[in-house]
Structure 1
Amino acid sequence: MAKLTVEDLELKGKKVLMRVDFNVPLKEENGEVIVSNDNRIVAALPTIKYVLEQGGRAILFSHLARIKSEDDKKGLSMKPVAQKLADLLGQPVTFVPATEGPELEAAIDGLEDGQVLVFENTRFEDVVDGVEVKRESKNDPELGKYWASLGDVFVNDAFGTAHRSHASNAGIAANIEQTAAGFLMEKEIKFLGGAVEKPERPFVAIIGGAKVSDKITIIQNLLKKADKVIVGGGMAYTFDAANGKSIGNSLFEEDKVELAKQLIEEAGDKLVLPVDAVAADAFNNDADTYAAGEEGIKDGYMGLDIGPKSIELFKSVLADAKTVVWNGPMGVFEMPNFAKGTLAIGEELVKVTKENGATTIVGGGDSTAAVQQLGVADQLTHISTGGGASLEYLEGKTLPGIAAISEK
């Protein structure tokens, strides 16, 4: 899809509304609330800096967590985020503790070219006078219209919220002449969208995680598009049960066994399942373990990672890949003794990126954490910034935040 990008806009002297994803973790330190992880702010810097360099007046807004009561607002102001942004930009950032009204409007009108303003948490609009009304989350038409009136153009750089139809993305876009993608959003559309719609082949998808029910539509969509779909993690035991294998005490979804059977029959050799497992007698890093082979897992034990034969099988499938999408761990990645499968996949992705020139895309918290733990995130093609958004993109769904961006 050819979407308008920030580089297509005339920005000098313009009030540039920018939806960013500054939903970052906060912590208290020496009596002060500070940002504890600034990755999402850093990811938005290229677009912000570009707007400022072009003489635009950047008006940034983001949500921060969920707001369900007036009490929630006390610890979830955007003020510490604005302070962190000022440090990263090396210039002052105006913070306005309001989401609407004369104070906000006056501050925006007072901006000069190359200056930045951050206003209050957009989700503060979800609770008004102590009542949960969800003006932001339910895309209140008047709120979207009001926010749109504060600027001249709209740049959406928040892929992490692209799967939501909120006042701060779809609502503004519906009420302003030009909406463009920021560099971060543009990259997500290029790589995730490109992988699903026009992949260079062979195209291999790796889907992990605990439950088939969480990823079933992704698996179904990718089986239509990919050359191979590798399944690992807890969900693999539902497929094992469908194949009649013993799974011991492993996590599985009994109500999804018939669906798994159907997928196995329909997919044929397109679907690649683990052939062995690291099984443990408790959900604990220090549990007693053994290598469970193709015969399955014995009673009293549960599968917590893929085994060495599965790692080699998956590597062989990835060996000549030209496009790889990975979402979800191969085991209980949080425990070191059951992280080997996930880390091996991360290492293999680096290899196919370097040796095959493959496009390698990673999405999902655990998969991202794995490549960061390995220190190889910068050696892969793209690390997606959107959890739920990347999942829905891989499912083939239309994302409201992307649909609302103007076509070129």
Structure 2
Amino acid sequence: MPQWKTIDDMDLGGKVVLTRVDLNVPMEDGRVTDATRIERIVPTVRDLSAAGAKVVLLAHFGRPKGKVVPEMSLRQVVPALEEALGRDVAFADGGYGQAVADLADDGVILFENVRFNPGEEAGDEGFARRLASVGDVYCNDAFSAAHRAHATTTVLARLMPSCAGRLMQAELEALEKALGDPAPPVAALVGGAKVSTKIDVLRNLVGRVQHLIIGGGMANTFLAANGVDVKASLCEHDLTDTARDIAAEAERQGCTILLPRDAVVAAEFKAGAENRVVKVEEVPDGHMILDAGPDSARHVCDVLDGCATLVWNGPMGAFEIEPFDAATVAVAKHAAALTEAGKLVSVAGGGDTVAALNHAGVADDFTYVSSAGGAFLEWMEGKALPGVAALKGEN
């Protein structure tokens, strides 16, 4: 049984539910260009309304730094929100008490960007109390903001009866399956450009997984630490000692690190660039590693065949440009097939990861794909997330 409550644990009939959501969506010319985050909160809003609650949506947009910035108003999100919910959504940029009083018993209202108030990012209790005064229950459905100790992510949870929304619930249950209490053997695939951005992730994972698969530019730093000349490849040569330390700790913990055996190399990074597959020890002068090679991809797939759980963050190569997407696509499709066959619990997250899995056409086939960026990364680092801790009554 989780330490946090869900919507099902709350008496919501006739209640006003302050619901923290993530509406920080991409926009162009005043229109939402990707409504994924909006679509993901629909189950929570519908369930709250069905339970007879008035739903007050609290969210941020952009980084106004405590000031009113008209182009960061959440008013412009209302049309996309109404389309996703299939119903009218009221909007209030002040007079919140009256606005809530005027709302239908199962109505939905969106308050203005909470970051227009400096008390939001400061975690100010006074600001949180003013919001709490218009509600009865707090519901957090914004895992993507759970790594922030802000007024609407942590303080409200301490001031009011609190629960997790459907998206938050799904995220927490998936993460528990992936690293909290996973079925072993566990593999973690960590890719991306730089080791420097994921040192804490790697240090945490070597003590918690049996196989650590390193891809992308990060792998080049580890290869260089092993004495491989990666030539013109992206590589943080100043972190080779760190890479060796992580490898040594992995050995002590019984964690196997998988690095590329072969690579797709080219003299320039552009679509249609002349490329070839070589062993990692044989990168030609003036060339750079832009993807793991086919032998490396097969090796990773073979390892996954023997695993019960996979956590994925970051691509295996420069997947944005063909043919440097081949290893990422091959491994993603194999992981998806294992998942569909009931042989693997697969949890993935992070912006590039979501894009890569969508590119491979398998995002819907993983056990769970998190839309959270920073929060997912901090969870992989083993850090306590303030928004989650607050729901558990831990802070």
TM-score interval (norm. to shorter): over 0.9
Contact 1:14–1:152 (CA<8 Å) still a contact in 2?
yes
Equivalent in the alignment of 1:144: 128
Partner Cα separation in structure 2 for residue 240 and residue 380 of structure 1: 29
- Alpha-carbon distance, 1:83 to partner: 2.0
Contact 1:325–1:362 (CA<8 Å) still a contact in 2?
yes
Counting only pairs closer than 5 Å after superposition, residues 4-403 of structure 1 correspond to structure 2 as: 4-28=5-29, 33-68=30-65, 73-98=69-94, 103-125=95-117, 134-176=118-160, 178-268=161-251, 270-403=256-389
Partner Cα separation in structure 2 for residue 244 and residue 238 of structure 1: 10
1:75-104 alpha-carbon deviations (Å, 9 max, x no partner): 121112122212222221111124xxxx22
- Alpha-carbon distance, 1:163 to partner: 0.4
Partner Cα separation in structure 2 for residue 383 and residue 276 of structure 1: 28
Aligned length: 390
- Report the TM-score, using the length of structure 1 for normalisation: 0.92
- Report the TM-score, using the length of structure 2 for normalisation: 0.95
Partner Cα separation in structure 2 for residue 180 and residue 69 of structure 1: 27
Equivalent in the alignment of 1:3: 4
**Range 73-82 or range 311-320, more displaced:** 73-82
5+ residue gaps, structure 1 = 126-133
CA RMSD of superposed structures (Å) = 1.6
Match of 1:114, SS state, is coil
1:34 partner letter: R
Contact 2:19–2:58 (CA<8 Å) still a contact in 1?
yes
Equivalent in the alignment of 1:130: none
5+ residue gaps, structure 2 = none
Partner Cα separation in structure 1 for residue 342 and residue 15 of structure 2: 44
Match of 1:246, SS state, is coil
1:288-340 alpha-carbon deviations (Å, 9 max, x no partner): 32222042422211111111111111111111221111000111121122111
Partner Cα separation in structure 1 for residue 134 and residue 322 of structure 2: 50
**Range 294-303 or range 212-221, more displaced:** 294-303
Partner Cα separation in structure 2 for residue 166 and residue 193 of structure 1: 24
Partner Cα separation in structure 2 for residue 317 and residue 375 of structure 1: 22
- Alpha-carbon distance, 1:202 to partner: 1.4
1:195 partner letter: A
Percent of aligned pairs with the same residue? 39
Match of 2:348, SS state, is strand
Partner Cα separation in structure 1 for residue 33 and residue 330 of structure 2: 29
Distance 1:201 1:79, change over 3 A: same
Partner Cα separation in structure 2 for residue 64 and residue 159 of structure 1: 15
- Alpha-carbon distance, 1:407 to partner: 5.8
Contact 1:342–1:367 (CA<8 Å) still a contact in 2?
no
- Alpha-carbon distance, 1:69 to partner: 8.0
Partner Cα separation in structure 2 for residue 255 and residue 123 of structure 1: 38
